[in-house]
Structure 1
Amino acid sequence: MEEDLKAEQDAIEDGAQRRCWKKYAEKAGLAIWQKPFNHIECENNRKKDSELRPHICSKSENPDTTWYRKMETCISPLPDTKDQGQVAGGALAKWPAHLVALPPRIVRNSLAGIIAETFNTGLKLWEESVKYYENSLIPPLAKGRYRNIMDMSSGLGSFAAALANDSIWVMNTIAPDANELSVIYEHGLIGTYQN
């Protein structure tokens, strides 16, 4: 039994290290793994050992394009950085500030057609709309009567961000050909594709 648990733990640790994750903390059989801030060390290790798997995916493909794409066993590359301590793609503000902070992907102009003005306008619109809903149309919304909401056209996740102070869980759902899911994740929110 104990040998089986050790073998299972070794397999988990090997898989995590192959993905370039580092063990952040461990206590009483519970471990917390941290993804890398960038892929400099990961790429260097793969240059030294070409047999190391999984490999880094091709940088020519957009890592946010996931639907109707052949699955490949590889690590999606993080944006390039200059030094080991730099956060790939840009650092996020601390919670809860990053709910309303401009996401790094928008700052870098890496999403076609999405600019800072679009993001900020959406936040303001949904903040005002949620206040109106809570005060006039759906008073139970503010009182915690509704716990789970699915936003079936979530765009940049502004509706969920406006509800962040309420006791409500929002699943942001976007069409598979949209590219906003990465921004939703950078908000610190959850989301999924739905065809």
Structure 2
Amino acid sequence: MHAITRMVGPARCATFKMQMTSVTFLYTRYKKMEACITPIPEGAQQLQKFPKRLFAVPPRILEGTPGVTEEVYEEDKKLWKKHVDTYKRVNKLIGKSRYRNIMDMNAGLGSFAAVLDSPGSWVMNVVPTISERNTLGIIYERGLIGIYHDWCEAFSTYPRTYDLIHASGVFSLYQNKCDLEDILLEMDRILRPEGTVILRDNVEVLNKVRRTVTGMRWKSKLLDHEDGPLVPEKLLIAVKTYWVGREEGSSS
């Protein structure tokens, strides 16, 4: 650019750059586009119509997916049916129109979203990039939506997008990767005021989380596992309260 400035002079440099931009735009506009739609894989013909495909065994599991067999898939469905039933007993609004935008931060096989049974809601299924199993394809074949994400980074969405955030094992997964405070702050950003968070994790991890969310003005409650108090995995149910800062000089 310095050479261009010397040739055409500072006054004409901006005009020259605009002309170059126009040429680039015209070239891009009239360039013949290539086919970019991914063809349907052969196994897709086996997919059932929605909503039956939510619970049918996805073709890629039948064809062979490392770490995921038909038995593992069926057990996962049963497990999350039990978990979601517990959530609905604790919070009667789950499955109703109260929670329209829902996120599962560690979706696994997508069974949480599948058994939620809420036609008025949609679930963003997130597969952490550091997960041991790549399950996003299975989620797609169940008729669900999903995305890869590293929870040490910000999630690409507007603030206050989600009404309910579900996170199973997220903090244990990222325990030695990044600070849990950073993950919680990102959750706070994308959760609407008076939105709900359901955390399922080891009790030691959840105790640390609870101390942090108290400082964030979340109301939280620690609950035992469905199978009893001796199970180290617990539930932390939290609600992001609506609050505003006071102006200077105002009485408390």
TM range (shorter): 0.5 to 0.7
> What RMSD in Å do the two structures reach over aligned CA positions?
2.5
Return the alpha-carbon distance in structure 2 between the equivalents of residues 108 and 98 of structure 1: 16
Greater fraction of residues in helix = 2
Shift of 1:88: 4.1
| Equivalent residue number for residue 107 of structure 2 | 154
1:1-195 matched pairs, under 5 angstroms: 15=33, 18-19=35-36, 21=37, 36-38=39-41, 87-88=42-43, 91-109=46-64, 111-134=65-88, 136-177=89-130, 178-195=133-150
Return the alpha-carbon distance in structure 1 between the equivalents of residues 109 and 103 of structure 2: 14
> Which runs of 5 or more residues in structure 2 are unaligned?
1-28, 151-252
Shift of 1:36: 3.2
Q: State, as a whole percentage, how many aligned pairs show the same letter.
A: 40
Q: Is the 8 A contact 1:172 1:191 kept in 2?
A: yes
Return the alpha-carbon distance in structure 2 between the equivalents of residues 98 and 147 of structure 1: 22
The aligned amino acid for 1:174 is: V
The aligned amino acid for 1:124 is: K
Return the alpha-carbon distance in structure 1 between the equivalents of residues 119 and 80 of structure 2: 14
The alpha-carbon distance between structure 1 residues 89 and 131, as it changes in their structure 2 partners (threshold 3 A), is same
The normalised TM-score by structure 2 is: 0.43
Q: Is the 8 A contact 2:95 2:117 kept in 1?
A: no
Greater fraction of residues in strand = 2
Return the alpha-carbon distance in structure 1 between the equivalents of residues 80 and 120 of structure 2: 17
SS in 1 for 2:48: coil
The alpha-carbon distance between structure 1 residues 89 and 96, as it changes in their structure 2 partners (threshold 3 A), is closer
Q: How many residues align?
A: 122
Q: Is the 8 A contact 2:95 2:118 kept in 1?
A: no
